[in-house]
């Protein structure tokens, strides 16, 4: 079985930033883009199935394989998981690939999903720099504490001055100006908000817009371990309480440079949508009311102390940003909700979206009663996982996205998350369901979000036909991770006999491209194991 014989792929090379770190994205795509992009992706995945690559997905109780919709005479049949298949000899399968010097310092673990038995490990309890595989921790904690249907609300209220409206950020980074400019799936829009506002204003003109960014004002909004060069590099920006398209300047490009003042950009979009013009504004009268409602001091401006990177106009054409709570009248002029958490997680994992990960981290913090800060989010994430029995020994978490080079996570933990997401749920729906069954059910959405090898997201340009990792195309589903000297691959694969395996491989002290290829070889070796 040769994998995918023909495939359309888009590969975007990593960009070097001024701080020296590298973020690599391959095959990023806009899930909310025009239908032609989705059609191409569908062709890729269907083609993979037709030539024999099975995409494993979850249903209620266990895995099934996707039956191919291709021609009956394709000559290849897709078989599903087989829990009765012999357990493969993973030590033998990985003996060669794991000795590749390109892997630098290698740590990893492989587990049989059905039995939970560890089949192979190397330094699995050693905490390594995880890069974006950190998002597996964020995802698991969010699903366990928030649930898959959790949504985030963004509200507009009437201010205390005539014609003033207040955009109250609730932590949603997925908003778009309009549906046709949305990066994220089923994103709420400023256009929808503005329509509600204009209707409920009863014809009164809007004279100013204040963005209440107090949700983000509990601490620094730009992580001290990040490089500011990654703003223009398209990886991160300030974690404001409201932003458009994750702060991307160009929502058609997953790797677009980010704005350095996302809350202000959101406010300006609302101002434009409600018809606020410079002639009707007074220069932004939000500057003197942010100290009310239990706050003190000036708060109508966004300054560098709030964590924004500077360079943005904080008081533009009647639009201002407050890092303190803003007084408003009772009631709402308009409100929109984000997509459910499981959809946002899918976007985050497929595109390795850093800002979505940080926003979800703050949702976890809020649910757990922690400050809405980097420390609060990471602390809450670790506590949730610890409460659910995951091994947190030696884990250090400085952010929820994996952009911090100071993070340390063990392969044992990451593989354990995959085991729980993959394990069959035997008692679903029964009053006597075990806690293990409950965890597996709660973590199922992870499987839907993992990129498919050679098919989509950050794995679109990898596992190419004819390469040493080609056999894994369409069979491997995994979260990637890449920083300078760091590569990671965490996911699941079904071997040729139908045994479902989970794995976590981490490489530190290695060159990106060779290490990434070597990790792909490891995952493909699992596919070919017997």
DSSP H or E stretch at residue 361 = helix 354-367
Domain 12-147+344-353+393-527, CATH number (from 3.40.710.10, 3.40.50.10490, 3.40.50.2000, 1.10.357.10): 3.40.710.10
Q: What is the mean pLDDT of the chain?
A: 82
- State the residue for tokens 């504004």: 281
Domain ranges, ordered by start, for the chain: 12-147+344-353+393-527, 153-337
- Radius of gyration in angstroms for the set of CA atoms belonging to the chain, rounded to a whole number: 24
Burial label, 299 (beta-carbon count in 10 A; 0-12, 13-18, 19+): buried
Nearest to 17 by CA among 192, 229, 195, 179: 229
The one catalytic residue in 28, 32, 114, 132 is 132
DSSP per-residue letters across 100-164? -GGG-EEEEEEEETTT--EEEEESTTS-B--GGGGHHHHHHHHHHHT-TT---EEEEEEBSSTTE
Bridge partners of 477?
Answer: 452, 492
Q: State the pLDDT confidence band at 231, using cuts at 50, 70 and 90.
A: very high
- Mean pLDDT is lowest, of 66-70, 77-81, 386-390, 449-453, for 66-70
- State the residue for tokens 């204040």: 210
For 217-326, where are the E strands, in sequence order? 242-244, 315-316, 319-322
- In this structure, are residues 41 and 49 in contact, taking their beta carbons and an 8 Å threshold? no
pLDDT of 217? 81
Q: Pull the structure tokens for residue 423.
A: 């394990």
Prediction pTM value: 0.83
pLDDT of 335? 99
Torsion angle of the four alpha carbons 344, 443, 515, 9, in this order, in degrees rounded to the nearest 10: -50
Supply the DSSP symbol for 38. H
Nearest to 527 by CA among 56, 16, 8: 56
How far is the C-alpha of 129 from the C-alpha of 306, rounded, in Å?
28
pLDDT of 426? 63
How far is the C-alpha of 449 from the C-alpha of 136, rounded, in Å?
11
- Predicted confidence (pLDDT) at residue 28 exceeds the cutoff of 60: no
Mean pLDDT, residues 81-93 taken together? 93
- Predicted confidence (pLDDT) at residue 152 exceeds the cutoff of 70: yes
pLDDT of 316? 59
- Mean pLDDT is lowest, of 42-51, 85-94, 491-500, for 42-51
The one catalytic residue in 21, 124, 133, 135 is 135
Q: Is 35 a known active-site residue?
A: no
Nearest to 379 by CA among 395, 403, 397, 391: 397
Q: State the pLDDT confidence band at 438, using cuts at 50, 70 and 90.
A: confident
> How many residues does the structure list for the chain?
530
- State the residue for tokens 């979850």: 58
Nearest to 487 by CA among 18, 150, 22, 62: 22
- Predicted confidence (pLDDT) at residue 431 exceeds the cutoff of 60: no
Mean pLDDT, residues 75-94 taken together? 80
Q: State the pLDDT confidence band at 277, using cuts at 50, 70 and 90.
A: low
Nearest to 521 by CA among 483, 466, 470: 470
Q: What is the pLDDT of residues 47-62, one digit of tens each?
A: 333 233 333 333 323 3
Mean pLDDT, residues 362-375 taken together? 98
- 3-state helix, strand, coil split of the chain in percent (to 5) is 35, 20, 50
Query: What are the φ and ψ backbone dihedral angles of 164, each rounded to 5 degrees?
Result: -90, 135
Instruction: Let me know the angle formed at the C-alpha of 194 by 193 and 199, rounded to the nearest 5 degrees.
Output: 105
- Predicted confidence (pLDDT) at residue 450 exceeds the cutoff of 60: yes
Beta-strand pair 12-16/319-322: unpaired
Mean pLDDT, residues 158-179 taken together? 97
Bridge partners of 335?
Answer: 155
Q: Is 28 a known active-site residue?
A: no
Q: Angle, nearest 10°, between helix axes 354-367 and 135-145?
A: 40
- Mean pLDDT is lowest, of 49-53, 379-383, 449-453, for 49-53
Greatest CA separation found in the chain? 75
Q: Is 352 a known active-site residue?
A: yes
Q: What is the pLDDT of residues 481-490, one digit of tens each?
A: 999 999 999 9
Q: State the pLDDT confidence band at 514, using cuts at 50, 70 and 90.
A: very high
Bridge partners of 480?
Answer: 489
**Residue 1: count of CB within 10 angstroms of its CB:** 14
């Amino acid at each position: 079985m040769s994998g995918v014989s023909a495939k359309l792929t888009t590969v975007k090379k990593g960009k070097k930033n001024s701080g020296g770190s590298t973020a690599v994205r391959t095959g990023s795509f806009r899930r909310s883009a025009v239908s032609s992009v989705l059609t191409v992706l569908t062709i890729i995945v269907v083609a993979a199935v037709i030539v024999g690559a099975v995409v494993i997905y979850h249903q209620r109780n266990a895995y099934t394989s996707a039956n191919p919709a291709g021609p009956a005479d394709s000559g290849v049949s897709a078989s599903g998981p087989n829990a009765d298949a012999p357990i493969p000899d993973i030590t033998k399968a990985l003996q060669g690939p794991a000795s590749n010097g390109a892997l630098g310092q290698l740590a990893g673990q492989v587990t049989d999903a059905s039995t939970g038995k560890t089949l192979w490990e190397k330094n699995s309890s050693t905490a390594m720099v995880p890069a974006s595989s950190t998002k597996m921790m964020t995802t698991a904690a969010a699903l366990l504490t928030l649930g898959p249907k959790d949504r985030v609300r963004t509200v507009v209220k009437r201010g205390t001055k005539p014609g003033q409206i207040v955009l109250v950020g609730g932590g949603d980074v997925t908003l778009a100006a309009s549906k046709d400019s949305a990066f994220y799936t089923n994103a709420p829009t400023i256009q929808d908000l503005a329509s509600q506002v204009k209707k409920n204003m009863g014809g009164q003109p809007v004279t100013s817009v204040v963005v209440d960014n107090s949700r983000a004002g509990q601490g620094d909004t730009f992580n001290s371990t990040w490089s500011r060069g990654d703003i223009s590099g398209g990886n991160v920006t300030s974690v404001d309480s409201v932003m458009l398209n994750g702060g991307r300047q160009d929502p058609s490009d997953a790797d677009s440079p980010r704005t350095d003042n996302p809350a202000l950009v959101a406010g300006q979009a609302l101002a434009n949508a409600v018809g606020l013009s410079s002639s009707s504004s007074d220069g932004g009268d939000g500057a003197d009311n942010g100290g009310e409602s239990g706050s003190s001091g000036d708060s109508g401006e966004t300054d560098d102390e709030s964590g924004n990177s500077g360079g943005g106009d904080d008081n533009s054409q009647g639009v201002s940003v407050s890092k303190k709570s803003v007084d408003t009248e009772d009631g709402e002029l308009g409100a929109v909700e984000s997509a459910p958490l499981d959809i946002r997680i899918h976007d985050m994992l497929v595109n390795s979206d850093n800002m979505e990960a940080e926003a979800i981290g703050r949702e976890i913090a809020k649910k757990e009663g922690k400050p809405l800060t980097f420390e609060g989010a990471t602390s809450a994430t670790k506590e949730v996982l610890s409460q659910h029995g995951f091994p947190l020994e030696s884990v250090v978490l400085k952010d929820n996205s994996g952009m911090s080079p100071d993070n340390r996570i063990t392969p044992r933990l990451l593989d354990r998350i995959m085991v729980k997401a993959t394990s069959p749920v035997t008692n679903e729906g029964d009053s006597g369901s075990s806690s293990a069954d409950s965890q597996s059910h709660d973590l199922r959405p992870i499987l839907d979000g993992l990129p498919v090898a050679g098919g989509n997201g950050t794995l679109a340009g990898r596992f190419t036909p004819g390469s040493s990792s080609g056999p894994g195309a369409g069979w491997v589903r995994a979260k990637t991770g890449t920083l300078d000297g760091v590569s990671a691959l965490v996911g699941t694969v079904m071997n040729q006999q139908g045994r479902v395996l989970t794995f976590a491989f981490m490489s530190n002290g290695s060159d990106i491209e060779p290490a990434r290829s070597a990790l792909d070889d490891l995952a493909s070796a699992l596919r070919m194991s017997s």
